[in-house]
A and B are shown apart, each in its own frame.
Chain A
Amino acid sequence: KNEVEQSPQNLTAQEGEFITINCSYSVGISALHWLQQHPGGGIVSLFMLSSGKKKHGRLIATINIQEKHSSLHITASHPRDSAVYICAVLSGAGSYQLTFGKGTKLSVIP
């Protein structure tokens, strides 16, 4: 069983819809990253969080450490949000090992 589970694997939405992508993990972590990967391979870091909630533009990320769960929300989705969203957990204080989810492929249709 993968230590980091993302759901759904694939998501198709109409432009303007509210989107939620979920990430559950089984190990103790010190931080969690949400990454965005566009076709062609480039990866952009969206958020790094260890507690609570962060917001950047139309993107919101939340984490519940006790429940070992994080969500990424996209409000008013747009076709340019189409990408693969990847959750990655950073385990171990003082060490630096990222474990990745398999990603959620999002397609936003105009």
Chain B
Amino acid sequence: KAGVTQTPRYLIKTRGQQVTLSCSPISGHRSVSWYQQTPGQGLQFLFEYFSETQRNKGNFPGRFSGRQFSNSRSEMNVSTLELGDSALYLCASSLGGHQGPLHFGNGTRLTVT
């Protein structure tokens, strides 16, 4: 069974630009969640989607948004990039809610210059 796939692996953008990251979950998993990891703040929850609906959102500004498609693939978008958005962005898939362990992708490392 293929794992969680995140694309791209690395991305360099300049301040003010926007970026879209993609996450393909394990087949059959309907929940996709997104996380930001920085050296200072550690891992922080961004949002979670289940069957195309956002069920919860972390404490991030509205510049961070996401969506989930009918095939459970998910994208997250960051608009008007700031230097502080430089981070490793991870997604994880699961059967949904408390139903099993999280399966993480390898992440997208975003550098904002």
Question: Which A residues contact B (CB, under 8 angstroms)?
Answer: 30-31, 33, 35, 40-45, 47-48, 50, 86, 88, 90, 93-103
Contact = CB atoms under 8 A, between A and B. Distances in A.
Say what secondary structure dominates the interface of chain B: strand
For the complex of A and B, list the 9 residue pairs with the smallest distance between their C-beta atoms, beginning with the closest.
A45-B101, A43-B104, A100-B43, A96-B48, A41-B107, A45-B102, A97-B56, A102-B42, A98-B45
Contact of B102 (A33, A40, A103): A33
A40 B105 CA distance: 12
Nearest to A98: B45
Interface residues of B, number: 26
Given A30-B98, A86-B42, 6 more contacts: A40-B106, A50-B98, A96-B48, A96-B55, A97-B45, A98-B45
B67 interface: no
B28 to A, nearest CB: 16
B13 interface: no
Nearest to A2: B42
A51 B57 CA distance: 26
Contacts of B48: 96-97
